[in-house]
Amino acid sequence: MILLSAEKISKSYSEKKLISDVSLYLNKNDKVGIIGINGAGKSTLLNILAGKEMSDEGKISKYSAAKISYLEQNPAFDINLSLIEIVFKDLDEETKQAKEYEAKTILTKLGFTNFDINANNLSGGEKKRVAIARALVNPCEILILDEPTNHLDSQMILWLENYLKSYNGAIVMVTHDRYFLDRVVNRIVEIDDGTLYSYDGGYSRYLELKMQRAEMESATRRKDRSLFKKELEWMQRGARARGTKSKSRIARFETLSDGNTSVTEKLEMDSVSTRLGKKTIEIKDVSKSFDGHCLIKNFSHIIMKDARIGIIGKNGSGKTTLMKIITGTLELDSGEIVYGDTVKIGYVLQEWETPPEQMKVIDYIKEAGEQVVTNDGIISASKMLEKFLFPSYLQWNTINKLSGGEKRRLYLLKTLMEAPNILFLDEPTNDLDTLTLTVLENYLESFSGAVVAISHDRYFLDKVVNTIFELDGDGIIKQYNGGYSDYLEKRESLPADKMPVKLSIEPQKIKPVRTQKPKFTFNEQREYDTIENDIADLEQQLNFTKDEIEKHSSDYGKLVQFLDEKEKIEAELSLKMDRWVYLNNLAEKITKL
């Protein structure tokens, strides 16, 4: 059953066209994740779907009985109301009584224990959590969520993840949390240069299909494919939390090679830093309390030159306090911080100051320097902007024309361009799109100094850090080796009787396997000779079906028929493309012999 359809939607702001002639259909059990670079129009599309904003062209149709509940990126409500009053706003008395227990449970899961307090003194993050509760409690058939994981700690995200997985209704959401996308959604919709591309499955399946699309389009997209290949390999071979994913898919892409230049070249950013001597930062017996409550107690640590530290803990446990103490921006109660002579700190704040609205993008970056020195030589500020997804035409725009995520990316780039050798990142993943996060993670991988990051993004922590500091909120800081998934395994280990048993095989019992030269079977050779034509035929059928969907958008019976046909063709096309990659890999191996 189609609950919502958006047909031939277009939307522009001044001279910038965000989305152009796109269509999206939402069925009852769809859980759709929308991704794309900052400024691509993700929030705009959600506003249009929710009826908060009009499109320039196109039509939105909704099943008459379907209600929508919408979590906006920056929610607004009457701050003079109590938390429970905000959650129940616009609901009738009968619904309030029926939902009271559920509402209080959700508020508790989101970190609130007093439901009658006035919302006037809540922080921005706390207001967003109240708005999440309001969206979840509101009875609806379609749940639209814009960045629901921002301002949630890891435990809250895990709870929300499980809640949405079992949610009985349709969901459309924008989020940068890639584990969240992988575990909750069953379809990814990417906005790329105003066009929508739909991929069945979660984030790891999207990476795989994205690679295949790049391969099929042309050889000039090989560097794009290389970027997604690297991401997919990490996603599928990494920590134990991802161990259940199919490793066989990786083998299909082993022989895909890099090639000509493309837009992805702009995403590859060389590490910029100044030399760091042997002496870095030593934390000696540090303590800090607020209003008699101790957040950090007698903490000591030496940050090594190549440290990769992730700081986690519940909201209010003292994560930002610890970072401010280490960077010297907050006074200690007791203890000492000793800095090496060559230490140059780069500090990306969570509550960052928005760049001056009327300043040009290029001028803002030039404040950090006209040029920087990288491993490949001297690079101008303009070139660095291009590498961080700001093409030349955007560089001369004033900052007020950028989206919130683009401003965050610009602020991050300016900090990196100041060439620090110890980076402190407080929630660096907030407001950044998945592609920018991949760029940042690759940058940090090659960064020659130390990195200390506060983050609720489990994927980011797994990929970047090798040590976890957990703050309990009462002064104790526990240290764990490994990334976030390793931390979870050690912290929440299974009882001994449920631990997996290791099987050992005696070497003498292993029979040597005679390796055979790769070759086509008769059927594989015949399939290899015809598969490209088969794919072309399916793509032609798919385009025809899409045209028929548009022609019969007002005829519900035919619309359902063609949507079912489209789904079958897409499934068959996906299988064919899997086979195409396998057969081409095998052909390359045969050729090399």
Structure-token match 């997996």, residue found? 500
pLDDT score for 429: 86
Query: Does position 506 have pLDDT exceeding 60, yes or no?
Result: no
pLDDT score for 273: 58
Mean pLDDT of the chain: 81
d(CA 409, CA 392): 16
pLDDT score for 540: 86
Per DSSP, what are the bridge partners of residue 110? Answer: none
Q: Within a 10 A sphere around the Cβ of 35, how many other Cβ atoms?
A: 24
pLDDT tens column, 298-324? 999 999 988 999 999 988 899 999 999
pLDDT tens column, 231-273? 666 666 654 444 433 333 334 333 333 333 333 333 444 555 5
Helix (H) or strand (E) run with residue 211 in it: helix 203-217
State the pTM of this model: 0.68
Q: Which residue has the higher pLDDT, 376 or 420?
A: 420
Helix (H) or strand (E) run with residue 10 in it: strand 2-13
Average pLDDT over residues 26-37: 92
Where does the pLDDT of residue 393 fall: very low under 50, low under 70, confident under 90, or very high at 90 and above? Answer: confident
Share above pLDDT 90 across residues of the chain, in percent, rounded to a whole number: 39
Average pLDDT over residues 146-152: 89
pLDDT tens column, 340-351? 988 999 998 887
pLDDT score for 264: 37
HSE at residue 266, side-chain half, CA atoms within 13 A, is 14
Per DSSP, what are the bridge partners of residue 173? Answer: 33, 145
Q: Within a 10 A sphere around the Cβ of 458, how many other Cβ atoms?
A: 26
pLDDT score for 268: 45
pLDDT tens column, 109-146? 998 988 988 888 888 888 999 999 999 999 999 999 99
Task: Give the pair of three-digit tokens for residue 39.
Answer: 């400024």
pLDDT score for 277: 65
CA torsion sign for 313, 316, 319, 320 is positive
pLDDT score for 550: 75
Per the CB < 8 A criterion, the answer to whether 236 and 242 are in contact is yes
Share above pLDDT 70 across residues of the chain, in percent, rounded to a whole number: 82
d(CA 269, CA 274): 16
Query: Does position 222 have pLDDT exceeding 60, yes or no?
Result: no
pLDDT tens column, 531-590? 888 888 888 888 888 888 878 766 767 777 787 788 788 778 777 776 777 777 777 777
Average pLDDT over residues 485-514: 50
pLDDT score for 226: 56
* 499 to 225, 482, 487, 493, 505: CA distances (angstroms): 39, 20, 17, 8, 19
* 586 to 18, 219, 521, 593: CA distances (angstroms): 41, 19, 11, 11
Where does the pLDDT of residue 499 fall: very low under 50, low under 70, confident under 90, or very high at 90 and above? Answer: very low
pLDDT score for 294: 94
Candidates 302, 312, 277; CA nearest to 448 is 277
What is the amino acid identity at position 420?
P
What is the amino acid identity at position 361?
V
Max CA distance (Å), the chain: 78
Q: Which residue has the higher pLDDT, 207 or 507?
A: 207
